[in-house]
Structure 1
Amino acid sequence: MKAADLATRLGLRAEAVCRYYLSSGRRSGKYWIVGDARNTPGRSMFVRLFGPQIGKGAAGKWADAATGEHGDLLDVIRESTGLADFRDVGREARRFLNLTESEAVPSPDIEIDPIPTGSPEASRRLFNMARPIFGTLAETYLRQRAVTVLHGASALRFHPHCYYRPEDGGSRQTLPAMIAAVTDLHGRQTGAHRTWLSNDGGDKAPIVTPRRAMGDLLGHAVRFGTAGTVMAAGEGIETVLSLRCVLPDMPMAAALSAAHLAAILFPLSLRRLYIIRDNDRAGANVCHHLADRAHRAGIEPIVLSPGLADFNDDLRHFGIQAVRELVGEQVIRRDRIRYLHGAA
């Protein structure tokens, strides 16, 4: 299918396209009004929701009064998702339209390149389709869990309609989700982690498995900051982010499970590793195993233990000052001066 035909198909569902990719805007009569094609809040861009399929005034055509830019809905998909390659834009448009492979005939304009479900490439596509968390339900979710330090959290994004399929083979549905990029020591994305959220962002979605990972995870992690001689590593994203609230400048990594924390790879520059413990049997076992690995690699391991099940429980039940005091007793003096005293 050629690009022009794909744009026409999108135009037939112009309002649905706008609600999905330009969610910061709103409908006003025959138009969708938003700040720009990158989904910025505002009123300078107008998208036609109705009109002929092709030609002047066609549905899906848009113009930005502030910049003079104009285009069709393929341009909207490209700008709002940040996809640079037009082949990726075409694939994303087909995904939105739910076209089958038989309906989408390959052409020189847009190639079809099937991607294995759950592969590292699929995880990169998912992350690229998501948006920064600020002002989204993902930010609401984290703040509901008392996580207030979100600078340097570019590894986290939000997808308003992330596919979820029950493990019992039930019908697929779409739910809002926090998307986390899993990267290797060189910053290359190898996987992704999804946390499906309730429709108000107040908690995880009421489904059987609200958290799932995809891609190549072994040895890798969701990273916050670039590790130097010191870093901290833990299991869950919320647990690691809770510790960042009192040590906001210390590089940290969330390995996503006890097994993956035990196998996390060490940066060559690392000299001291803070192991963020979960208070359960698996947490105790992984601390012992990871500390042994660190010792053998010439790295000093120090375990940080919460008062309750994990540091997010501590943060929500006791407050940030209590967590700061608890962590301050366990961090060595030079790191307490470097990292803890700057915590807000």
Structure 2
Amino acid sequence: MAKLSTRAAELSERLARDVQAVCRHYLPAGRREGRYWMVGDVAGTPGRSLYVRLFETERGAIGNWVDAATGEHGDLLDLIRLNRRHGRLSETLEEAERFLRLPPSAADDQRGATSFATPARAGSATAALRLFAASKPLTGSLASTYLRSRGITRVSDLPALRFHPRCYCRPNEDDVPGTPGTFPAMIAAVTDNDGVQTGTHRTWLDPTGSAKAKVASPRRAMGNILGNAVRFGSADDVMIAGEGIETMLSLREILPTMPMAAATSAAHLAAIQFPPTLRCLYVARDRDVAGDAAFGVLTESTQEAGIELVSLMPNLADFNDDLRQHGADALAERVRHHLREQDQIRFSVDIG
């Protein structure tokens, strides 16, 4: 499985380097409109429901696509799989290799795995995995100090989070001239439902560890993010999903054994993929328009999947604000009333 995942990540990266050629080949009825290739659906029907990202932005990586009509989404490998109606991942990988005119995979195996010395495209899944691997443990780091400044004290046993002392931060047009090119950063692994890492999320930090870095966009993701999440615990039949890492860790202060997932944004929360065994989804909402919209989309998708949906609404803007302003006991008391009785017992809401 790990070998296939590595091979898929490498092929996805190579396809993204030639994204317009991929679109022209598999979706010839589409056309470029600005930063996207627009077409009707994954089969290549004329239209404008499906859009493929042609350029990397803060909202997504090159090659990521979404069908607004069906909610389907993924990277270019997913697009090829659906376009060619493949039943197995191996078929899609072979098709991608044919398109890229690569040698047979057996020859790749004989040469060995791709070396870290091989440059990875900026923002790609490969670059995302390398950044996480190059980062340090969270415990005792500046990222741990940052979380404590946000009222989050349970900072041990968080394998999804790491720390990088000098993480590259590309300034954008909203940053002031002279903004440094690197900052310390909290690094988070974004994984799918099987625990396979598909991307990495970065939160750049002030060197004091007391706040996020003073840049226009202190949070950015790289790799394949859509549908995936930063996960705390392994979900089975019940879980809590929300937007921000700090929001979910605030709830973990009072529900330390409840599986949780941070989708990193409202748009990604709306598109989050559920474990096939899930029966109840709690949604930790942010009190804003984007959070309401995400909850609306989840209402429809959970109904279709037969999943019970329960809303968790903060008193302030989000649950981290609640934790810092009112304390863990008040937060626990507020959340407890929204949990199903069996979950109150099973996950033992922690009230001091």
Do Structure 1 and Structure 2 share a fold, with TM-score over 0.5? yes
For the aligned residue pairs, the C-alpha RMSD in angstroms reads 1.6
State the one-letter code of the partner of 1:226. S
The answer on whether the counterparts of 2:139 and 2:156 sit within 8 Å (CA) in structure 1 is: no
3-state DSSP of counterpart to 2:240: strand
Q: Give the % identical residues.
A: 54
The answer on whether the counterparts of 2:329 and 2:351 sit within 8 Å (CA) in structure 1 is: no
Determine the structure 2 residue equivalent to 1:324.
332
The answer on whether the counterparts of 2:332 and 2:349 sit within 8 Å (CA) in structure 1 is: no
State the one-letter code of the partner of 1:319. G
3-state DSSP of counterpart to 2:163: strand
Relative to 1, partners in 2 of residues 1:283 and 1:190: Cα closer, same or farther, differing over 3 Å?
Answer: same
1:152 aligns to 2:157 (yes or no): yes
Query: Normalising by structure 1, what TM-score?
Result: 0.66
Q: Distance in 1 between the 2:263 and 2:330 partners? A: 25
Q: Distance in 1 between the 2:124 and 2:225 partners? A: 11
The answer on whether the counterparts of 1:324 and 1:340 sit within 8 Å (CA) in structure 2 is: no
State the one-letter code of the partner of 1:247. L
The answer on whether the counterparts of 1:233 and 1:255 sit within 8 Å (CA) in structure 2 is: yes
The answer on whether the counterparts of 2:193 and 2:228 sit within 8 Å (CA) in structure 1 is: yes
Q: Distance in 2 between the 1:207 and 1:222 partners? A: 23
Determine which of 300, 303, 307 is the counterpart of 1:295.
303
Relative to 1, partners in 2 of residues 1:118 and 1:259: Cα closer, same or farther, differing over 3 Å?
Answer: same
1:311 aligns to 2:319 (yes or no): yes
Q: Distance in 2 between the 1:300 and 1:121 partners? A: 36
State the one-letter code of the partner of 2:251. L
| Structure exhibiting the larger radius of gyration computed from Cα positions | 1
- Say which is worse superposed, 148-157 or 298-307, in terms of deviation: 148-157
The answer on whether the counterparts of 1:248 and 1:343 sit within 8 Å (CA) in structure 2 is: no
Determine which of 102, 117, 122 is the counterpart of 2:122.
117
Relative to 1, partners in 2 of residues 1:131 and 1:111: Cα closer, same or farther, differing over 3 Å?
Answer: closer
1:130 aligns to 2:130 (yes or no): no
Query: Normalising by structure 2, what TM-score?
Result: 0.64
The answer for unaligned runs of 5 or more in structure 2 is 1-114
Residues 153-192 of structure 1: pairs in structure 2 closer than 5 A:
153-168=158-173, 173-192=181-200
Q: Distance in 1 between the 2:248 and 2:349 partners? A: 18
Shift of 1:258: 0.5
Determine which of 218, 221, 226 is the counterpart of 1:210.
218
State the one-letter code of the partner of 2:249. L
Q: Distance in 1 between the 2:122 and 2:193 partners? A: 24
Shift of 1:152: 3.3
Residues 1-344 of structure 1: pairs in structure 2 closer than 5 A:
112-168=117-173, 173-342=181-350
Equivalent residue pairs, number: 235
